[in-house]
Amino acid sequence: MSETANCIFCKIVRGEIPAIKVHEDELTLSFMDIQPASPGHLLVIAKTHAANLLDITEADLLAVTLAAQRLARAAWKALEPDGIRINQFNGAAAGQSVFHYHVHVIPVWEGRKIGSHGRAPASPEELTALAGKIRQALV
Ligand code: AMP
Ligand code: ZN
């Protein structure tokens, strides 16, 4: 079986499992993290499977980075955080749990503690509302 068959993010790209999408272009897809570290936590992925930073092509890396910048700008405008944290993990030892290259875009507010990502699920209603606000702020 190929590496992509059981990859959860490839399944989202193929439409086999749902995601609350915020932005899509030829090479990238951005959607809400279902177990967010903070409100508005987004994931930006390349549509083509690559496990991590070491494997991804330069073209996909550039596309994901530019999409992450665009999404960070939109999240900043829509949610008015005090900062935005960009996280990216390579290998289980570094904290990676989904082995399809992705960038975390995490809004941060002063005085509000950031949770651990991938722990507590947010409600679909809350995620959908946040996604709508960020989408509207996209330029
Ligand atoms: P990591 O591999 O540690 O960078 O984190 C993977 C992230 O993917 C975690 O924050 C999870 O909450 C998130 N995640 C896992 N499955 C899904 C999914 N089906 N839709 C959205 N986010 C997901
Ligand atoms: Zn994949």
pLDDT-derived band at 1 (thresholds 50, 70, 90) equals: low
The answer to whether 102 is a known catalytic residue is: yes
Q: What single string gives the DSSP state of each residue in 28-90?
A: EEEEE-SS-SSTT-EEEEESS--SSTTTS-HHHHHHHHHHHHHHHHHHHHHH--SEEEEE---
The total number of structural domains in the chain stands at 1
Residue 79 located in a structural domain: yes
**Which domain CATH number covers 56?**
3.30.428.10
Structure confidence at residue 104 (pLDDT) = 98
Query: What is the span of the domain harbouring residue 132?
Result: 8-137
Residue 2 located in a structural domain: no
Pair 72, 86: CB distance under 8 Å: yes
Name every protein residue with a CB atom under 6 angstroms from any ligand 1 atom.
8, 19, 31, 33-35, 43, 89, 95-98, 117-118
pLDDT tens, 20-36?
A: 999 999 999 999 999 99
